[in-house]
Structure 1
Amino acid sequence: AIQKAFIEVNEEGAEAAAANAFFIVGITSIQFEPPVIEFHVNRPFFFNLKASGQSLFNGICVQP
């Protein structure tokens, strides 16, 4: 399995994406494009990235 996540915050807003890929070796394989989640914020916010119930990364954006 492959996992990837990122958060980009700049003057224009914030963008976050996460992707998981599972590969089946054998006769078939599954390939897909991970969904991109984009959101815009206009106030301070807290974020917490979790995987399997474990906190991986925490952050606060004070001036979005």
Structure 2
Amino acid sequence: MIDLLRSEWIKFRSVRSTVVTLLLAGAIVVLVAVLVAVNTDEGAHTNLTGITGGVSFATLLFGVLG
């Protein structure tokens, strides 16, 4: 089990796309939240699905690419 964790950690640290994909996923979450917040009227009750919609997309992106 320790060898498996060690090998996965080495793979995580050595593959450049993992870091890029993680940063891209974080940026997408923030970008979608900002876009929803900008397009929402002040004082309007918003559905949290719109604000957290970027999380679903970022999770899908990370699963496919990373």
Give TM-score, length-normalised by structure 1: 0.27
- The structure with the largest alpha-carbon Rg is 2
Give TM-score, length-normalised by structure 2: 0.26
Bigger helix share:
2
Which structure ranks higher in relative contact order (CA pairs < 8 Å, sequence separation ≥ 6)?
2
Bigger strand share:
1
